[in-house]
């Protein structure tokens, strides 16, 4: 995949507020989709989808897997830093004030 294609995929991945929240959380500490779903108050299936989009765009990476109640829980962290600052700046830019 070319550099421009990767950049386009990453920009597209940032187009949903849940994904930006996941990036902020995954920057602070490795997090699973189920943990993020609870923290965000969103259905697990929805959050898991957003994790897949971020992983495909190479914005998060798998760092650990744990067996939990008969299934495997995957933990991810961001591949770069600065997401909390970016989210705050973006929120200011798009505020409806």
Q: Domains of the chain by range and CATH?
A: 3-91 (1.10.10.10)
pLDDT over 70 percentage in the chain: 99
pLDDT score for 39: 97
The bridge status of strand 31-32 relative to strand 71-78 is antiparallel
Mean of pLDDT over the chain:
93
- In this prediction, what percent of the chain has a pLDDT beyond 90? 76
- Cβ-contact 77, 60 below 8 angstroms: yes
Q: How confident is the model at residue 5 (pLDDT cuts 50, 70, 90)?
A: confident
- Rg of the chain's alpha carbons, rounded to an integer? 14
Q: How confident is the model at residue 66 (pLDDT cuts 50, 70, 90)?
A: very high
Helices of type H across the chain: 3-13, 17-28, 33-40, 44-56, 83-94
Q: Look at residue 96 in the predicted model and tell me its pLDDT.
A: 77
Report the predicted TM-score, pTM, of the whole model to 2 decimal places: 0.90
Cβ(79)–Cβ(58) below 8 Å: yes
Residues 6+ apart with CB under 8 A from 59: 10, 13, 23, 78, 79, 80
């Amino acid at each position: 995949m070319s550099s421009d294609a990767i950049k386009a995929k990453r920009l597209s991945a940032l187009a949903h507020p849940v994904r930006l929240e996941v990036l902020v959380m995954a920057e602070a500490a490795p997090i699973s989709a189920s943990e993020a779903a609870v923290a965000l108050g969103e259905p697990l299936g929805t959050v898991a989808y957003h994790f897949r989009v971020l992983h495909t765009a190479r914005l998060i990476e798998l760092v650990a897997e744990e067996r939990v109640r008969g299934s495997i829980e995957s933990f991810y962290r961001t591949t770069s830093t600065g997401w909390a600052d970016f989210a705050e700046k973006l929120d200011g830019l798009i505020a409806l004030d």
